[in-house]
Amino acid sequence: MMETAIRRLNVLEFVILGVVMVISLIAGALLAWLFESMVGASFRLVWGVASLLFFVVPGVLVHRRERDSDDSQQGRADLTGPMKTGNDG
């Protein structure tokens, strides 16, 4: 039962990642189209760079935030259970 749920969550994670990749490609194409019409820049070059930036920069920010929250929780005491003092008496 648990293995099926884990497998479904893994599939959902890849679906979300695919949707985000498509959105970043579309956003990069729109930005490249605007740059091409306003500045005359190469559509293909701007599309590639912008799509990478739209995909990588948010991913790095989320990864850094998750890493920082994990580090801050490691230093906290666990107050949910009974207190363990190490002496019996």
**Per-residue pLDDT reduced to its tens digit, 66-80:** 888 877 766 555 566
Q: Evaluate whether 53 touches 25 at the Cβ level (below 8 Å).
A: no
Q: What is the distance between the alpha carbons of residues 35 and 47, in angstroms, rounded to a whole number? A: 9
pLDDT at 84: 62
pTM above 0.85, yes or no: no
Give me the residue spans of the domains in the chain.
Answer: 16-70
Looking at residue 83, the DSSP 8-state letter turns out to be -
